Structure formats: C-alpha cells, structure tokens
Structure 1
Amino acid sequence: MFSNDTHQFVDWFRNASPYIHAHRGRTFVICFGGEAVQSPHFSYLIQDIALLNSLGIRLVLVYGIRPQIEQYLQTYGQKSCYANGIRVTDEIALKCVKAACGEVRTEIESLLSMGLCNSPTDDVRIRTASGNFVTARPLGVRDGVDYCYTGEVRRIDVTAITRQLDEGCIVLISPIGYSPTGETFNLLAEDIATKIAIALQAAKWICLTENGRILDNEGQLVRQLTVFEAQRYLAQQNFEAKKQLNNAVKACQNGVQRVHLISRKIEGSLLLELFSRDGIGTLISTDPYEHIRKATIEDVGGVIELIEPLEEAGILMRRSREKLEMEINHFTVQERDGMIIACAALYPFTEENMAELACLAVHNNYLGKHRGDALLTFLEREARKKGIAFLFVLTTQTAHWFQERGFITACLDSLPMSKRTLYNYQRNSKVFIKQL
C-alpha cells in the first residue's frame, strides 16, 4: 500500500504536469526586490528559478536594490532623499546604486552557477546574460525637484534580449539604464519589468511582492481579476500593492497575457503559483481566468469526469457518453484555467413555457464558493431570454439547496406531459419549481 505522502506526491505531479507542458518555451519576466536578496531563504528562490529554466521556460529576472543602496549610503554617512515617493539620485547616491547593482548581480550569478542542487542534472551549467539592454533618459526637474540621476525607461533592446533567451540564457536586468551619451540612471525595477514584459510580449510577468497582498472586504486574498475588475478595484480601494496592480493593468493592456502578484515570503511561492490551478497569489489577465460558457463537444470528457462521482453516489441520474454527446448543446460549464469545475443543463419545454434545470454539479475542490449559485443565476438569465416563465428540477438529495434559492415543492402533474411520461418512479425524485 502507498503512504499518504506518496499519494499526495502523485496527485500533485499529475496536476502539475499540464502546466509543465504549457509553460515550456514561454517567456516569463520575474521581478523581485533587494529585500528578497537579503533574505536567508533567497537561495531557495534561486533554486526554484533554476528549476524553471531546466523545464524550458525562458526567463528574464529584474531585481531591485533599495535596501542595498541604503546600506551603501550609510557607509558614506548619507541619508536617502525622496520626493513624491521617488529617490533623488545625486552623484554619491549614483555610486551607491552602481555598487549595489554589482553586488546583487554577483550574488544571483553565483547562486545560479550551482545549477540544480542534489539532482541528476546538477552538472548542467545555467548560463546568465546581462548588459546594456535598457536605454534610459533623466526624469529631469518635476514640481521644482531635480531628480539628478534618477531616470525612466526610454527603450528596451528586444533583439538583444531575445537572442540571449534563444541561446538558453537567463537574462539578468539590473535597475539601471544608460543614455546614448553614456550617462547612467537609477530606475525603478518594477517599471523596467513592466516595460520589458510588454516589449517581449511575455506570457507572464511575475512580481514577487514584499507586503502587497490584494485582499477583499472580508480580508480574503483576491485570487483573480480581469483588467476591467482590476481598474474598478483601483478606483475603489487604497492598498499597499496599488502601484503593482497599476503596472499589472498596464502590462495586460499592452499584450502581456497574465500578471501574477505573489508574496515572496511564502516558501516556494513561485512554484505554487505556476504549477497549481489555484495558485497562492493574485492573477490579473485580459480574459477571465474562470468563466461560465456554453459547453461544446470537446467538453464531454470533462463533464463526465465531473459528474461520475455524483452518479455513483446516486445524487445524479446516470448518463452515457453517447447521451451526453447528443445533449451537450443543452449544457453550460464553468471553466477554471482549462478545467471544468461545474456544469448544469437547461432543457426547455417551450409549449408549456417551462424549462428543466438538470445535472447541476460542482467539483469537490470548489464546493462552498458559490459556483452553483453563479451557474444557477446564469441559467435563469438564459431562460428568461428564451421567454421561459418557470424553472423546475427533479432531485433526490439536494432539496434544501434548491428551496433556499426560491424553488418550491410541486407535484408531478405540474410538469410538462412529455417529462411526466419519462418520470422514473423507482428513483422517486422530488419536484421543485421556481417562477422566474
């Protein structure tokens, strides 16, 4: 017999394998701050990044250096100067920026040179590449403040970065840029990451935040937002990760498929976010990560996998694959990142101005999260569009759920005649009707 740990590993690996396949060959931009570099667990993050590289993911790493700059300024007896939340980089501060960049880049390169520790491929070298990929310009004088050597991104050398990625290198981007006249400018790492993700049309931009978890009014993590939802959230809320969410919206609006905001303080957060369906952070995407849609013939296998346990428990009536294929146009599914997590069918009886709601099922992992309510609301709206006045269900074990949602007990005679003739007296289902 296998142990629970063995079963958990097998289940995890099976669930992760579609993502391993989907991510291979894609370009990810990963951004983290200097605080992550100072963490005693930074080597674990770098090992996870090395693992992503070994799986064929094209990686661009953009790192921040804020705490390192602070430490170097202290050695010069200087204090940081900020205006409007932006560092004013004078000549001394610029020296500190250059020193901090070199220190952090060397630390990252040395850790990546270890390869994948304690693995059969620990002798495989992971190559890194860095250089003058970012052209910058000065921020200049704003509101009377001269920001000196603080700059902003002017251009990204996409060709050069792509060439290094094509050769299998992990590209390291420091938070500095260079002007055509040879000047060096201090830049914000997150702004660089946003511009690079857009320029490369990256599949993902992953921002490892310090304290920037996005929470709802009940203090629960917001797991996904469309661009529209994120814009509405920004207008209504004031929270720590506002700048990151602003950048995420900008990236998605300019061609980045998905942006992930995750806490770097959670051990293994990068792997948990990328190789599990629900992740541990907030996903921002142009299209809904989870959405309700009409089913197609390609969904039959997913629907069967979803309803089989309920059929075995006697909650749902058994349906053959052939029957499902013939009736799939009546089904609506709720999909989460390619997986069918809920379904229901609507069978209209137009002459009687009624419709049957059938085969309502939600995956065990997503019970108690209002998926059933969302499907019911969607199908009630669809029924109204078709001029349906009454919705009815036949159920053996979920009567209370439907009663709590406005269905009332009815007799068999209230059903359409064609449905009455097919009633299974052995199953003895109860009848409930709701007026729309």
Structure 2
Amino acid sequence: MLGGEAIEHENFSSIVNDIGLLHSLGIRLVVVYGARPQIDANLAEHHHEPVYHKHTRVTDAKTLELVKQAAGLLQLDITARLSMSLGNTPLQGAHINVVSGNFIIAQPLGVDDGVDYCHSGRIRRIDEDAIHRQLDSGAIVLLGPVAVSVTGESFNLTSEEVATQLAIKLKAEKMIGFCSSQGVMSDDGDIISELFPNEAQARLETLEAAGDYHSGTVRFLRGAVKACRSGVRRCHLISYQEDGALLQELFSRDGIGTQIVMESAEQIRRATINDIGGILELIRPLEQQGILVRRSREQLEMEIDKFTIIQRDNLTIACAALYPFPEEKIGEMACVAVHPDYRSSARGEVLLQRIATQAKQMGLSKLFVLTTRSIHWFQERGFAPVDIDLLPESKKQMYNYQRRSKVLMADLT
C-alpha cells in the first residue's frame, strides 16, 4: 500500500526498484496506491474546497474529476517506473508486465446524517479469480483509489480499504504499508517491532483521540487490524523515507518497522529432540568462554526434556533447563543462554519466570543456580547467595571446586 505521500518522496524510485527486484524473485505482487496529497493539490489549484464528513471525503462531481485526474496520472507514472525498475541491475532487459483493470466493483457510501457522500464509495466485490490469473501469468497488478460500479459510475475509494480487502480476498501472506516514520512508535519514541491486533487497535484509538485520522500510520493500522483478524498472517508498516526498508523488512530476521501479527514470530516452549542443533549452536560459544559447563550432544539428547527454549522465526535465541530434585523439593535452573543479538531484551527474565512456573508445578519450593558471571543478575531477581551445603546431596557431590561457581537460591513459595 503506497500512499500519495510515499509517491511524492524522493526515495520512491528506490521503492519501485525494490518492488521490481521482489517481482524478479517470483514474489506475486499487487500494488495499491493512494492519491490524497495529489487530490488535495488539484483541489487547491482549482480553488475547490475539500469537504469531509466523519473524516471521510465527500466526493462531488467536480472533486471526482480531479480525483480521476490525479489517480490516472499516478497510474501512468507508476507503470512507467515499474517498467524500467530493473535497469542498471543484472536483470536489465527483463520485462515487467503491469496490469490494471476493473477488478474491483464499487458502490456508493450513500447518505449519512443527512450528508450525501456523492461519489465516495466502498468496495462491493472483488474479482479475485481474474487477479490470480494475472499474477499466475507473471504480471504485477496495480490498483488505485478509483473503481466503477455495475451501473458504470466511478467512485472514490480509500487506498486502505482497497489494500485491506484485496489482502483478505486474495488470502495474501502479507500486507505492507508505507508511512513517514519507521513504524508504529511507542510513547518513548522507540519503534514497536510487533503488535497483536488488539494492541494495534488500542494504538489506533489513541492516535485518533489525538486528532490523527489521515496519517499513513493511522490508515495502515485501520486496515491491518481488520486484515489480521480476517486471516492475513502479517501486516508490515515501514518508512518510505528509508532506502532499502522494504528489503530489510522482508529479508532480515527482525525487520526494520512494525508488524501486526495474529501470532507472535517468537515462541517459548519445551524443547524437543529436533531442537538440539539450535541449542548447541547457542551454547557452544558460551562453553568455549567458560561461562557454561560443556555438554555433549549425547548428554543433550538424554536431557532434552529438561530444556525450555525461545525460538524466533526458527532460530533458537534463548534456552534454559530445569533439573528437579524432588526429595529435597529443590530445582536447579541451568544452561541459561541468550543469543547475543537479544541480550538487551527481557528474554532471560521470561525464561526465569517459565522455569519457576514449571518448578512450582512439580511441587518444588526452591530454585537454585550455579553461576560464575551472572551473580548480580540473579540477585536482582530474588536469588540470594547460599552455602554449598544447602545443595541437594547428589548435586553437592558433583560440585566442581576448581570452577568455584557461586550458589544462589530463591524461594518459590
């Protein structure tokens, strides 16, 4: 979903090149464009005052002509840019077919509170089969904010409705939108990398309460919440000002913007035999540094049911194990490791909470750790140094006096 603001920006040519590259990789693309600033500029040039009702444009006959003019020029411009998007690349000379057409049938919004929206409309139906045929043929489908009705009338639609309904009807894997910022921002000014639909809805309501109804972020959030709840797995919001943002968002593990998801890309779960390779890859550097006690693959295979992992897009980014001593009602939290790229987040704390919950479910009343490097981290979370004699007897017999690990224990009751 490309708003008119993105199309006006100097980085738009780079976005078009990235779209062309995605197409060359065999990714099926439907590009939806908006024209709000271009329409407003046309209205101002013709001294025609824009009219809104409940934050929706009222499209009278004069406005419709200016909408069609703006949308038509943008369609020609985007088509031309996509046609030459692979120039100066190894794929120079490859041809991209760009197809537009009457794939969307519109209907009028009608009258609300005595206000006639005139030629402002909404989607009545989408010919998804025809769009799929074009995508199957290798074309990029390009659609804008103007659609016709069964009676042949033209209607002005919002780009977010067009993009959202297309994503739902086509059962798209992703819907991607562009805004002026790098994504949805927190109150502290940081990028929020992931939101569930209910969280995105709350953020949307906050922005609207502050008077923001038409920014790229707000328009995208409206569509993304509906799309995710209707089966689109991920909706991404990125900056049109950031060169290469589209490729970074799609091809790096953590992306660069905000994604709205039905289920998190990150899972915390009990490990299985299939996770041994990922755990070994995570803990080997720490073993080589002497931070963790070395474990062989065979030992891991025998103890895999003791492990809990956090996985992000099939990468194991954190792990920990719980070894119970039921007779003493004590458990050991061991082999705690977090991937270097994720140590500034709260993954360690999440693992600690999960291990503590498992220990309580086993009827254990205390949890201990042996550590040489993370003493303060555990103390900040309720662990206190104790004497070796308080360890379970079998663990005490195995204590490595050369390693001289500190023993810390926490009460679970």
Classify the TM-score, shorter chain.
over 0.9
SS at match of 1:193: helix
The match for 1:375 among 330, 347, 351 is 351
SS at match of 1:272: helix
Match of 1:420 in 2: 396
Does residue 331 of structure 1 match 2:292? Answer: no
Does residue 250 of structure 1 match 2:226? Answer: yes
Match of 2:330 in 1: 354
The match for 2:112 among 117, 142, 157 is 142
CA–CA distance in 2 between the matches of 1:353 and 1:231?
45
Count of aligned pairs: 406
Deviation at 1:71, TM superposition (A): 2.5
Deviation at 1:217, TM superposition (A): 3.2
CA–CA distance in 2 between the matches of 1:379 and 1:59?
44
CA–CA distance in 2 between the matches of 1:210 and 1:217?
17
Note if contact 1:149-1:186 (Cα within 8 Å) is conserved in structure 2. Answer: yes
The match for 1:400 among 362, 376, 380 is 376
CA–CA distance in 1 between the matches of 2:404 and 2:184?
48
The match for 2:253 among 245, 269, 277 is 277
Q: TM-score, normalised by structure 2?
A: 0.94
Q: CA RMSD in A?
A: 1.6
SS at match of 1:311: helix
SS at match of 2:246: helix
Identity fraction in percent: 51
CA–CA distance in 2 between the matches of 1:142 and 1:165?
38
SS at match of 1:159: helix
Does residue 298 of structure 1 match 2:298? Answer: no
The residue type paired with residue 223 of structure 1 is S
CA–CA distance in 2 between the matches of 1:42 and 1:157?
29
Deviates more, 1:337-346 or 1:420-429: 420-429
Deviation at 1:222, TM superposition (A): 0.9
Match of 1:121 in 2: 91
Deviation at 1:425, TM superposition (A): 2.2
Match of 2:3 in 1: 33
Does residue 54 of structure 1 match 2:20? Answer: no
The residue type paired with residue 107 of structure 1 is D
Deviation at 1:95, TM superposition (A): 0.8
CA–CA distance in 2 between the matches of 1:214 and 1:419?
49
Note if contact 2:177-2:237 (Cα within 8 Å) is conserved in structure 1. Answer: yes
Q: Which runs of 5+ in 2 are unaligned?
A: none
Deviation at 1:236, TM superposition (A): 6.2
CA–CA distance in 2 between the matches of 1:364 and 1:316?
15
CA–CA distance in 1 between the matches of 2:182 and 2:339?
30
Q: TM-score, normalised by structure 1?
A: 0.90
Note if contact 2:11-2:240 (Cα within 8 Å) is conserved in structure 1. Answer: no
CA–CA distance in 1 between the matches of 2:221 and 2:12?
24
Match of 1:389 in 2: 365
CA–CA distance in 2 between the matches of 1:304 and 1:172?
47
Note if contact 1:64-1:174 (Cα within 8 Å) is conserved in structure 2. Answer: yes
Deviates more, 1:212-221 or 1:253-262: 212-221
The residue type paired with residue 141 of structure 1 is V
Note if contact 1:354-1:390 (Cα within 8 Å) is conserved in structure 2. Answer: yes
CA–CA distance in 2 between the matches of 1:243 and 1:381?
41
The residue type paired with residue 426 of structure 1 is Q
The residue type paired with residue 328 of structure 1 is I
CA–CA distance in 2 between the matches of 1:62 and 1:325?
50
Deviation at 1:327, TM superposition (A): 1.2
Deviation at 1:96, TM superposition (A): 1.0
Deviation at 1:211, TM superposition (A): 4.7
Note if contact 1:115-1:125 (Cα within 8 Å) is conserved in structure 2. Answer: no
SS at match of 1:426: coil
Deviation at 1:137, TM superposition (A): 0.6
SS at match of 1:328: helix
